[in-house]
Structure 1
Amino acid sequence: MTPYAIALMLVCFPYAQGAGAAEWKQPGVEIVGRYALDADGKPRFGWPGTAIRIQFRGSKLDVTLSDDGKNSYRVEVDGKDATLQLKNGSHAYRLVDEGVEAVHHVRLTRRTEGYEGSTTLVGASTDGSFLDLDRTIRKITVIGDSISAGFGVDGAGPECEAGAANGNQTATYAALAARDLKADLLALAWSGRGLTQNYDRSKTQVMPDFIEQLVPGEPARAVLADEQPDVLIVHLGSNDYARGAPEGDFRQAYVSFLERIRRSFPKAQIYGAIGPMLAPEMLQLARSAIESAVASRVAAGDTKVGALFFPSETIAQSWGCSWHPGKAAQQRMGAQLSERIKRDMKW
């Protein structure tokens, strides 16, 4: 990496509680989402939609990232979009190279899922100076599966095979709504996972087992009480009902999960969402169970919980790969979610 006058310093401050949790701070640089610190104190992250925000004054910016070469990022520089495919190993990526000094706003957002491996922010440098970032006040969290992770969304489906090349969390309904609402998004999403059983009908390592992890699939835990989103969407059930009605009491499991979420986030507006995938009969069964679970919580006195249904018509004429929602379908879902949040939150 070319040495510049100002280098990014990596500094960590431990949380007051939480095994493996730590905080990293640097003026002009912010990680939006969860991360763990590696042995060298550098932030490492894996949840889709995790972002790096940078603001600086200068003409050049290099960001050094370490990866196994499977992940891609959406790169936004002063409003201009590009896609960055990371290489295997640690590499410096020139993101800004201008002839004159100016103030630049840069954002890198992870497109790919956690099972593609984690990325480490090794450092960054500029020939100018890093500037303090404006803080985003609004926060949204989504807990979901492939629909929320952007599985296959960039593909021309429905019969193409979904994979890292056409996955894109930044094109999902949750990401689009967060952008419209000027909110930070934490996407805890993993393809194939369900609430009570996964797509392969396994009942272990379901999505509730992962929601506290700093890096997906690793034991280090986040302190949920420190996150406190304004809005939280639970979009689970598509995998539970994908191959017929799930065994056991899905409705009661959903009630218990909503109770767990409420204990961690006492002030959040919570939505139980489903659709637009599933065969009609299974979609109706899942919808009825979720709406009943939400009604149970309302009857128990929870005034900030509601149901959100994305109808199967949403996906019509907009297929991504592997029969998942394509870009236009995700855009329709995002508009529906955004309008609902605006109405309920008065945003």
Structure 2
Amino acid sequence: MSIGARWRPWPAIRLDVAVASLFLVLCTSPPIFAAETIERPSKWIGRVAASDAVFGWPGSGFTLRFEGTSLSITLVDAGQNSLEIELDGVPQRLDLQAGQHRYQLADGLQQGAHVVRATRRTEGWIGDTLFVSAETDGSFLPAEASAEEMVAIGDSITAGYGVEGVGPGCKFTPGTENQYLTYAAVAARSLGMELTTLAVSGIGLSRARKGTKTMLDVIDNGTLSRSGAPGLPDERVSAVVINLGTNDFSDGKNPSDFGGEYAKLLSRLRYQFPKAYLYAALGPMMPQKDFDTAENAIKAAVQTSVAKGESRLRYLNLRVKPKDFGCNWHPSRSTQAAMADLLEQAIKADRGRHG
């Protein structure tokens, strides 16, 4: 039974990959000719609750590297999440069904080594996804070493809320969300960087909204709903982009504690990512007056950190002029792409400056 996988207009599709990709189906029978089965992937992608084999942050998921002609996976999900499946670099959408199901990701491939990347299009509040197993008719291979890494921290803009909807009037559904099309994901792919996205729609940093968790409350979680321990210093991460403030300053708000909370976040990130360049970004939503207030607060936090000796930190304006909108006035695919260009240019410039 087809689960609604659909093609997008991606160029230069190899015939063997295109044919194999047609097998993104929900399987109702036991796996056939499974030469090897594993209960953990070759590599996790992004922030996950690895001990429980659960992933929930947008853009999180796993890599499977295998030698063979077929591949299937078994997952448990609540039934509203979708994944971006990249088979040898060719992306396709996979909608998950409620409960435990096996999904045939490839069949009839040419014999040889292949790589599948599976990442969540959807964010954490929609529910976690459990990795149960993967099966191939050949054998699984060790994952290749990671390249440079990027971390993106933000709200609905960074999660990809409504990016595939035709806005601004369309209502959000999980089907309109796609982290794969966000500015951070597009820039990371262009730069050859692995990405971890920590984003929650509606989140901010100010504690003025009583009873609402802030990014500092959840940033260490394995998934949005599963607590985690603060990460140890990670020198593999070379860029961190923070796009927070939209929910703190919208509708004329100007929370007095924002600057202090932002400073706490910068301090935590500098400890955890000692070699990374930090980009304190903002945009593209909010009326000009609210944007100016938020921008001034973020710039002040940046200037304070720089005055204390921080040398790899700068403000990044991502307020591009939209040509169109996603759902509820959120950035469309074209706006996200324009933001990605700005982020990529900044990272390239700072790579050259700092080597």
In the superposition, the TM-score normalised over structure 1's length comes to 0.88
1:93-108 mapped onto 2 (5 Å cutoff)? 93-98=103-108, 100-108=110-118
Of residues 213-222 and 56-65 in structure 1, the stretch that sits farther from structure 2 once superposed is 213-222
SS at match of 2:107: strand
Counterpart residue number, 1:310 = 318
1:121-200 mapped onto 2 (5 Å cutoff)? 121-197=131-207
Counterpart residue number, 2:347 = 341
CA distance in 1, matches of 2:342, 2:282: 13
Of residues 119-128 and 221-230 in structure 1, the stretch that sits farther from structure 2 once superposed is 221-230
SS at match of 1:115: helix
Q: CA deviation at 1:315?
A: 4.1
CA distance in 1, matches of 2:225, 2:57: 10
1:245-264 mapped onto 2 (5 Å cutoff)? 245-264=253-272
CA distance in 1, matches of 2:297, 2:52: 43
CA distance in 1, matches of 2:39, 2:270: 34
Counterpart residue number, 1:22 = none
Q: CA deviation at 1:284?
A: 0.8
CA distance in 2, matches of 1:260, 1:308: 19
1:1-347 mapped onto 2 (5 Å cutoff)? 1-10=30-39, 29-37=42-50, 42-98=52-108, 100-197=110-207, 201-202=209-210, 204-226=212-234, 229-311=237-319, 314-346=320-352
CA distance in 2, matches of 1:118, 1:253: 28
Divergent runs of 4+, >6 A: none
Report the CA distance shift for 1:316/1:217 in structure 2 as closer, same or farther (over 3 A): same
CA distance in 1, matches of 2:160, 2:341: 16
Amino acid at match of 1:127: D
Report the CA distance shift for 1:80/1:101 in structure 2 as closer, same or farther (over 3 A): same
Amino acid at match of 1:237: G
Q: Which structure is higher in strand share?
A: 1
Q: CA deviation at 1:222?
A: 4.8
Q: CA deviation at 1:105?
A: 1.8
Counterpart residue number, 2:10 = none
Q: CA deviation at 1:36?
A: 1.9
Aligned-residue Cα RMSD (Å) equals 1.9
CA distance in 1, matches of 2:45, 2:299: 31
Question: What is the aligned residue count?
Answer: 324
In structure 2, stretches of 5+ residues that fail to align are 1-29
User: Identical aligned pairs, as a percentage?
Assistant: 39
CA distance in 2, matches of 1:211, 1:233: 14
CA distance in 1, matches of 2:172, 2:256: 30
Q: Please tell me whether the aligned partners of residues 182 and 337 of structure 2 are also in contact (alpha carbons under 8 angstroms).
A: yes
In the superposition, the TM-score normalised over structure 2's length comes to 0.86
CA distance in 2, matches of 1:110, 1:68: 13
Q: CA deviation at 1:86?
A: 0.3
CA distance in 1, matches of 2:93, 2:238: 30
CA distance in 2, matches of 1:219, 1:95: 31
SS at match of 1:143: strand
Q: Which structure is higher in helix share?
A: 2
Q: Please tell me whether the aligned partners of residues 193 and 207 of structure 1 are also in contact (alpha carbons under 8 angstroms).
A: yes
CA distance in 1, matches of 2:48, 2:32: 26
Residues 167-202 of structure 1 deviation map (CA, whole Å, 9 limit, x = unaligned): 11111000011111111111000000011158xx44
